[in-house]
Amino acid sequence: MNPPRPLNIADVPGRELVTASGERLSLARSLSGPFGLRGLLVHHEVLLPGRRASGLHFHSQKEEASSVLAGQPSVWTGAEFVDLVPGDFIGFPPSPDAPHLLVNRSDAPATILTIGTCPPDDEITFLPLPERG
């Protein structure tokens, strides 16, 4: 195996995430694949205004954390929306007490780096979207 080589995120092919109902979500780049990472998910996501990264959900086993690189997205923390700014970092343990949702309620794109574990027995539970989500 050759040693890993750095890559520029802009050179990684991206794709638009879309829900089963056709709602357009984030523009995502998987940074795990180019390095052969199987137990760690690393996503670089751009949330255009009015878009969200996923549905409101929590995990049974998976841990997730997100860092805001640019823009001003908001996160639903289970009780309220909290506005974020570049440099903010937030983590989500696997628990029904930690439902989460990242959404861009601003007028400019937001860029987020999300890192998570990839346990094979993880179960995702989706919840109804909060108002203004």
Q: Convert the pLDDT of each residue in 52-95 to its tens digit.
A: 999 999 999 999 999 999 999 999 987 889 999 999 999 999 99
Structural domains for the chain:
26-120 (2.60.120.10)
CA–CA distance, 39 with 99 (Å, rounded to integer):
22
132 vs 64, residue with greater confidence: 64
Contact 95, 58 (CB under 8 A): yes
Q: Token pair for residue 93?
A: 């343990």
pTM score over 0.75: yes
CA–CA distance, 122 with 80 (Å, rounded to integer):
25
Owner of token pair 């690393």:
42
CA distances from 116 to 13, 23, 50, 75, 90 (A): 20, 23, 24, 16, 12
